[in-house]
Structures are given as structure tokens and as C-alpha cells.
Structure 1
Amino acid sequence: MSVTVMSVGDLVVDEPDPASFFAPAAGTLRRGDVVIGHVEVPHSTTTAQVSTDVPAPPADPAALVAVAEAGFHIVTLAGNHVYDAGDEGVADTIKYAQEAGLATAGAGLTLDEARRPAVVERDGLRVGVLSYNCVGPRESWATSRKPGCAHVKVLTHYELDHASPGGPPAVYTFADPAHLERMADDVAALAERADIVLVSLHKGVGHTPAVLAMYERPVARAAIDAGAHAVFAHHAHIMRGIEVYRDRPIYHGLGNFVTVTHALTPAGGDGDSAERAAWARRRIELYGFAPDSAMPFYPFHPESRNTAIAVCRFDREGLVSAGFVPCWIDDAGRPVPLGDGEEGRRVAGYIERITRQAGLDTAFAWDGDEVMVRRG
């Protein structure tokens, strides 16, 4: 008896005909017993907008039906945009996801609700998923009396360690110990009542190839130390490396999956969002790229079209195998699974390369149409 868990990165389903974007991958996803994705933006009919960051307008609630029909069972919600449409946006996203048949984790009308895991049962094995946002903004965080997401507060310290005032500092990041302990308590509690414990982390440096910030490995490892069998991360909108720690996989960033929206692409004219236009300029300054003008619905780094579906198999003894299916986001914004061919090996090679650049020694090996990972 075994259970196949699949997980992908960010889902932003904010274009017409949402089912079409999942069509190439749906056959692969439906082979998973438990399939997890991260819903990045609110799904609501509200017009409220409370974001203090780049605005992410709510997507059509009907798009969540397409997510479920593509093969997903659980969606994680702890992310930096979950509160962009305020209290109503949080409540609507949970309601519409659950009405579509999706279990949710990571957001709620209170912090206790946001910390509550999603639990499903397959062949007598209980699979639990917890979800945390590590990147802010603070407005997105739930409290005992405010809707929002479960979170791990990460502190940033800048140190000028050379004799050039105004020069570039060294950057140190680390999790607030109290928040890390709270996450570990949640994981340990879930391990008491679930056979398989999975943790979703919204973390990382956006739109930047390969780099892992200082806090990322310790937070992910803390989840494993507390009892998690695997960690799946997202937020950076670009793939990150894969680590195997204590013989359990940490996918430091699964990048984009279906992420289609015009919300980050300036439309021009007097009616356009000033914040959106400013973000388009700042994106070049911060990250050194401009999106492909031929894909205005895909406003992300060119390398982000390399992506993957994480695949982990478990039995009653724990993890049996871990790996991924390489995918490429095509010109229509659709993630396309790739087998052991030229294109599949190119994407797998990219993932192995950024893993090495991040200082991780994971070993990669093809097994059929999947790439397996193990400690190097």
C-alpha cells in the first residue's frame, strides 16, 4: 500500500478559459493520490483592495473549479497576496475552494484557523498539510481577531562590513525563534494524528535564479526536524534547488505552474494602476529582466518557464521515493510535462544546475519519466 503525493508551485489563474491552461498537465496530475498547489491570489467577487504591495486583484472564483477538475485535492493559501482583498477576500477564497471540492490550509478568519492543517485519507493513510507564509507583508498575517494567513516572521539584518559608507551591505536573515517554535509545535501535533506530514512554505527571493536566502534552509529543516516528511516551497516565481535532509526532500521552490494574469503588465493609458506601472519599472532595476512582450499574460522571468511537479511516494513506514516530473511552460502559459527526452533532460539539467549553485549536493537520476532525488 502506497500513496503518491504530487505538489506544484504557484497558481495564479486569472485569465479566461482557466481549464485550458491545465490541459497538458491534467493527465499527469490525475495519477496523484494527493495533489497540492498554492493559490497565490484571492478568488472573490469583492472590489475591495487593501494591498500595501503590488496589487493582485481577485481572480474569478469559478477558476477554482478548473483547479479541482485538473486533479488537485488540496490548496495552500498562506502567501503574501492572500489578504489583498481584505477580510472578504480571505473568506471567499476559502469558501469557493471548499465548494469546488478542494481542502484548504494556511488561511482562516483567525490565526487558529489559519494554522489548522488540511487532512485527507487515502487507502487508510492520513495525509496532513500545513501552510506558512515567510515573506510578509504583515497585513497578510492572521491574528486572533483578524483574517489572514499562518506565518513565520523572518527578520532581516544589514551589516556594512567594509569601509565604504553607502556601499552594498551583507544581508542576514533568520526566523523569529518564537514563530519557528510555533510552526514546529504545529508539525509535531499533526504528526500525532497523521501518517504523512507535509509542510508548504511561501519563501525565498523573488525572480532571482538559484539564490537561497540565509533563513530558508533552517526554516525548512526545522519543519523536517519536527516531523515533516517533505517540504514544498514557492513564492519566488522561479525554480529553486532540491535538498535531501535526513533522507527527506525539501523542494526549496517549485516556481510557477499555471500563473497567467495581466495584473502585473502595464496596460497604458490614464486608467492604469500607478502601482503596476511603478512595479514594471522597478522589476527591471531589482531583477534585471523584462517579461516577454509576446506573453503579456505571463509577466515573469524567462528562466521561470523551467518548472516541475514534485512527486513523493509514501507507505506506512514513511517516504519510499522522491523526485519530480520536469515541465516547460509553453508559449500559451501552459505547463507541459516532459519525459526522458531532449527537452526533459534540458529542464532537469537546469534544476540540477541551480541546486549545485545553491550549494546543495543532491544526486539526480532518471527513472522512467521522472527524475529521482537522493542525498548526494
Structure 2
Amino acid sequence: MQEQSQLDGDNREKVEAYDKVGSLATNVADGFTLVAVGDLIVTRPVSKYRHPVFDEIVNILHNADVTFGNMETNIFDIRSFEGSPQAEYGGAYHVSVPALGPDLRAMGFNIMSYANNHTFDWGVEGMRKTCQVLDESGIVFAGVGENLSQAAAARFLETPRGRVALVSFASTFTPMSRACDPAGEAGGRPGLNPLRLKEEIVVTPEMLENLKQVRNALPNFNSGFEEEDRVVLAGMTFKAGDSVGYSYDPNASDVSNILRNVRQGKQFADFCIVTNHGHEPGNWCQQSPDYEQSFARKMIDAGADAYIVHGPHQLRGIEIYKGRPILYSVGNFFMDDLRTPVGADMFEEHGKDPRIHTDAEVTLDEMSKLHEAELGFSDPVFYESIIAVSRFEQNQIAELRLHPIELGYSRRFANRGIPSLASGDKARAILERLQLLSRPFGTEIIIENNVGIVTP
């Protein structure tokens, strides 16, 4: 009996030891601060030239344990680059010079996501060169790799107040940029960590009946594959619902893979950031896609301490769930579109001739056009955003401060896209819009001295 009691005691100690080592509990020191911004579409070093409007921004970025943003450009020297612009690209060819890497570190960035629809604008060569620059600049990044296991894995940042994990993925990406693991004799594929979404269009029952009539009248329609509650037409799936809109169903395998890496990331760290680059249902929309709230909460339940979305290029609402911030879109941080060079495919898409027109003229045309009924990037709303500063006490968010920024919509093209703190009516307009967008999540934002404050 004494021997059995000793065994039970040993087993209990092993379980307790496992709970401490493999726990999903948050374990940062009080005062731990996370700064989060959105998309960095930037073509050049900025801080080293001391733009007067930018110095106040840098002070905020530096005053944090973790400063996060989405790396939405590729970094290499075009004069020695051995890759090429891809036929399949993210809407524009994003590229910056190697000096950007050290400059981002000098700004205060120490952790970044790199899974997005521009990761493969310049192919695997562009991805690898960008990874090299980020590594050499001392910036931790996640979301890409030589195979899916590497792309999906958490990456880690050491800070004085705790070890931080980052899991990065994209729901909006070019199909050829999706990473995969080896299978049998077939090797793995470099690329990004995906969250594939099955998109369906919700219509009224009457509309669905009309679509059935169109489908049934088309040649080669096989009624044996007909679904009563859905219509597949021109590659799109339509289903009946109460109101017209878009609906998304995340790929179960991708979700499982992400959850596993979130869990492992938190087990190996004191704090875990999970981040998604997603445009759905479109850049025109200020509301999140229908799947994302339950998905974000699932990430928090799996161990995430913050869930951050970027991609729509404009602000969406904020939720506090179980003492953790969910930022459904932090918009743009840089919108510096002095991109050069651009590929021949982009000239052709916009009806331009590289022998006659300039890279800037192609870019301006791309920014101002309406694509599939979406707002063009000439709209001022894409040049208004926030810097979100989360402070944690007793391992839960104590305060979320929202600093409104503007990216110089009215400035000359050569100077547009660099953030500065908004003030006066502009600051209030940005924060009031965010108040309205956050209200459905039960989040109250108080505005004080041109800053939004959330105190759960």
C-alpha cells in the first residue's frame, strides 16, 4: 500500500509538472505592452530621413515590449535579383529596397507576419530574399517557409517581460503561394501558411429558384448532381438565406493545423499572437466575414492572447474576449505606393505600354480603378487607421489605447502614405467610426485627448 501511495504521489507530481510546462496560461510580467499596426506597404526607408510627421509615431512603436505589423512587401535589390515577377500576383507588384529591413528595426518593429497575397509577387526567390533581410535585421517573422510545417510553425521573440510566440496565416492569397509538406517521394513546396475558405453567396429563396431555372436551362446540366438547397452556377455556389451576402466555411484541415500550432506556440511561450491576412468579403466592407468571430474566439480558447487581422485596408471593429483583444482589422500603417519596378503583366492589365507609360502611372491607375464593385484606393478611408497599444496586468488586458493616424491622402504622390498622428476633427472622426464598428461586439471606446481608450 505504501509503495502504491508513493507511485500515486509520483504520478501527481508528474501531472503537476506537465501542467506548469505545457500550460496554455499567459505568463507575462505586469506592464507587458503590445503595439499592433496593420499593413506595411512601404518601398523605402523612412525613419532615417526623419520625416517630421513620423517622429511621434516612432516614439509609440519604441515604447512597447512587442511591436507588430504585417510585412506586405518584398525586399531585395532589383539589380542583382535572380527571380522574376509572377504571372499570378496579389494585384500589384510590391517591392522595396534592402535598406528597409534595418529601418523597420530602427522604427521599433521586432515581430512581423509575412503571409499575405503579396508574399509571392516575385516568386519563391522574392520570398527567400525578404526572409533573409528580415533575419539579418533582427526581426522575428512567421507565416512562410520551405514547406507547410515551417510556414505554419510559431516563431518566438524574447522580451524582458516574457517570451512571445507568433502564428501567422492568410485567408487571402494567390493559389500558387500555398505551401505544402512532402508526400511520399514528392517534396514539399515553399510558400505561406493558408486558411482556405469556401465562399458561398447567400440569396433569398425566390432568387435561388430563379438561379435554378438558369442552371437547368444550360446545356450539359446533369440533374443527378443537383442539390436542393444550393445552386452552382459559373463556378459560384449560391444558397438560400434571410438576406443577400457572402458566407464562408474554413477548411477543416487548415483550421486543425493552425490550432495545433497555436497550442504549441503557447506551450513554448508566455504570450501568443495569432494573426490573419484576409480581405473577405472585400476591401469595400467594414464588417468581418461571417466565420471570423467564432474562429477568432476559437484561437483565444486554444491559447492565443491576441488575434489581429489585417488585409481589408480599412478599420473594422474590436472585441475583448476572455480578457484578450480581437482586432478585426487594424487597417493600413504604410500606404507608400512608390513601387518600382512593376511587372509587364500589370502594365497589360491596366492597358499601359512600358515603352510609353511609367510605373507611377500604372500604380495610380490601379489605385483609382473600381475592381468588382470595390472601393478604389483613391478613397480617403484607406488612409485613416490606428495604432493599437494593449497593456496587460495580471495576464489580462488592462487597457487598450487607440492612437488614430492618417497617411497623408491629400499629400503629393511622392510623399503620400507615411503615417502621422491624427488630431482634431480628423482624429475624432476616425475614433467615432471605430466606436460604431465595435459596438456590435459590446466594446465601449472612450475618446480622450484624441485617443480611444478601452478598459475592460
- TM above 0.5: yes
Identity of aligned residues (%): 24
Equivalent residue for 1:39, pick from 71, 75, 78: 71
Equivalent residue for 2:263, pick from 185, 188, 196: 188
Q: Which moved more, 1:177-186 or 1:159-168?
A: 159-168
- The residue that corresponds to 2:84 in the other structure is 48
CA contact (8 A) 1:12 1:261 kept: yes
How many residue pairs align between the two structures?
Answer: 363
Q: Which moved more, 1:346-355 or 1:204-213?
A: 204-213
- Considering fraction of residues, name the structure with more helix: 2
Q: Which moved more, 1:115-124 or 1:229-238?
A: 115-124
The residue matched to 1:207 in structure 2 has which SS?
coil
Separation of aligned partners in 1, 2:328 and 2:290 = 12
Cα deviations across residues 304-353 of structure 1 (Å, max 9, x unaligned)? 222111111224634333232221222332211246x5443232112112
Query: Cα RMSD (Å) of the superposition?
Result: 2.9
- The residue that corresponds to 1:238 in the other structure is 314
Q: Which moved more, 1:117-126 or 1:167-176?
A: 167-176
- The residue that corresponds to 2:198 in the other structure is 155
Matching residue's letter, 1:220: A
- The residue that corresponds to 1:173 in the other structure is 248
CA contact (8 A) 2:114 2:143 kept: yes
Cα deviations across residues 209-261 of structure 1 (Å, max 9, x unaligned)? 41221122222222111111111110111111111222321100010001211
Equivalent residue for 2:158, pick from 108, 121, 141: 121
**TM-score normalised to structure 1 length:** 0.86
Matched, 1:344 2:427: yes
Q: Against the structure 1 CA distance between its residues 142 and 365, is the aligned structure 2 distance closer, same or farther, given a 3 Å change threshold?
A: same
Separation of aligned partners in 1, 2:327 and 2:395 = 21
Cα deviations across residues 40-87 of structure 1 (Å, max 9, x unaligned)? 122123341225242314321221222111111111101111011111
* Greater C-alpha Rg: 2
Q: Against the structure 1 CA distance between its residues 26 and 276, is the aligned structure 2 distance closer, same or farther, given a 3 Å change threshold?
A: closer
CA contact (8 A) 2:337 2:363 kept: no
Q: 1:212-361 to 2 correspondence within 5 Å?
A: 212-263=288-339, 269-271=352-354, 279=366, 283=370, 285-289=372-376, 291=378, 301-315=379-393, 317-330=395-408, 331=411, 332-338=416-422, 341-356=424-439, 359-361=440-442
Q: Against the structure 1 CA distance between its residues 4 and 290, is the aligned structure 2 distance closer, same or farther, given a 3 Å change threshold?
A: closer
The residue matched to 1:219 in structure 2 has which SS?
helix
Matching residue's letter, 1:324: L
Equivalent residue for 1:197, pick from 268, 272, 276: 272
The residue matched to 1:363 in structure 2 has which SS?
coil
Where in structure 1 are there 5+ consecutive unaligned residues?
A: 292-300
Q: Which moved more, 1:271-280 or 1:152-161?
A: 271-280
Where in structure 2 are there 5+ consecutive unaligned residues?
A: 1-29, 182-187, 215-237, 239-243
Separation of aligned partners in 2, 1:73 and 1:328 = 23
Q: Against the structure 1 CA distance between its residues 201 and 288, is the aligned structure 2 distance closer, same or farther, given a 3 Å change threshold?
A: closer
Q: Which moved more, 1:188-197 or 1:268-277?
A: 268-277
Cα deviations across residues 133-154 of structure 1 (Å, max 9, x unaligned)? 0112221211121211112111
CA contact (8 A) 2:203 2:245 kept: yes
The Cα shift of 1:18 comes to 6.6
Q: Which moved more, 1:84-93 or 1:12-21?
A: 12-21
Q: Which moved more, 1:325-334 or 1:70-79?
A: 325-334
Separation of aligned partners in 1, 2:320 and 2:161 = 27
Equivalent residue for 1:146, pick from 180, 186, 189: 189
CA contact (8 A) 1:23 1:70 kept: no
- Considering fraction of residues, name the structure with more strand: 1
CA contact (8 A) 2:94 2:118 kept: no
- The residue that corresponds to 1:211 in the other structure is 287
Equivalent residue for 1:130, pick from 167, 170, 173: 167
Q: Against the structure 1 CA distance between its residues 348 and 90, is the aligned structure 2 distance closer, same or farther, given a 3 Å change threshold?
A: same
The Cα shift of 1:2 comes to 2.3
Matching residue's letter, 1:39: M
CA contact (8 A) 1:229 1:319 kept: no
The Cα shift of 1:158 comes to 2.6
CA contact (8 A) 1:44 1:92 kept: yes
The Cα shift of 1:19 comes to 4.5
Matching residue's letter, 1:349: E
- The residue that corresponds to 2:15 in the other structure is none
Separation of aligned partners in 2, 1:320 and 1:36 = 19
- The residue that corresponds to 2:136 in the other structure is 99
